[in-house]
A and B are shown apart, each in its own frame.
Chain A
Amino acid sequence: MTRFKELDPLLHSQLRLAIVSLLISTETAEFTYILEQTGATAGNLSIQITKLKEAGYIEVTKKFMNNYPQTLCKITPLGQKKFVAYVKDLNDYLNPDKPDK
């Protein structure tokens, strides 16, 4: 359990990492799209999105589209920065002899 202590604990979780990885290459993504792509349950996804939102990694906007509620998620500059740092730390861990300086 100690070998990943340097990795961002908020991102080092399957579903949260999947959410942020999806959002890193999108401008915006709807809740149902993330649900479909990650294969998570709506309840669990909602909890993890709230955690990421509270940490300032993502923005969540709610609006109506043809009378149906729509939840749009977007990664923030902080979220992008944290994701890049996570990938760098991961790379350092996977390639300890070739640190990415």
Chain B
Amino acid sequence: MEKEEKMMSGEESLRIITEMINKTKVNIRQGSFQLLFWGWLILVCSMSEFLLYKFTDFTHPYYVWFFVVPGVIVSMVYGFTSGRKARVRTYGDMLYMWTWMGFLIASIVLFIVHSKSMETVAPYILLLAGFPTFVSGFVIKFRPLIIGGITFWILALIIHFAGPSIAPLGVPVAMLTGYLIPGYMLKYKVDHDKI
């Protein structure tokens, strides 16, 4: 693109426009970090709560969820610093980020509204979490994440209708299908495609 004033044909103009627009992709490297970070954090918290409830006399097993608070800080600091380092910020990046911020805000509201019956909050959280996961899958054009979002909704129904012996395992399973499996697949894609 050196001969600046060279005459271009209409087809050439169209090719340049298409080529350049197709080059602007969402930063999916950050996406894989967030999926793996949250997938493992929630998996460990939910399994710990389940094991404490099942095998110990600990009266407040839900205390393990307080680890989510530093998790939010770590996640936001990572997002902010990598966003600052990014050489390009697409509208897709903004949609991706604000969809997850919306989920965070909705989750805080849900926890406040539901604070007196936390034992039944899991299907509602999965219901909410399915939405940004599903949308993010479309934003980055990554089918495992779209399917992951759908599994959140299926598991929300299963938790709601299943007995108390199965329901606590719904969240760890959701973390595997919705965050960890798509997260590792995305990481593999980033590492191998050099995106």
A contact residues vs B (CB 8 Å cutoff): 1, 4, 12-18, 21-22, 24-30, 32-33, 37-41, 44, 48, 65, 87, 90, 93-94
Contact = CB atoms under 8 A, between A and B. Distances in A.
Contacts, number: 87
B11 interface: yes
B20 A37 contact: yes
B10 A94 contact: yes
B6 A26 contact: no
B84 interface: yes
B13 A37 contact: no
B94 to A, nearest CB: 6
Interface residues of B, number: 30
Given A13-B5, A29-B24, 7 more contacts: A13-B4, A13-B8, A14-B16, A18-B20, A27-B93, A38-B1, A44-B1
A61 to B, nearest CB: 13
A4 B8 CA distance: 9
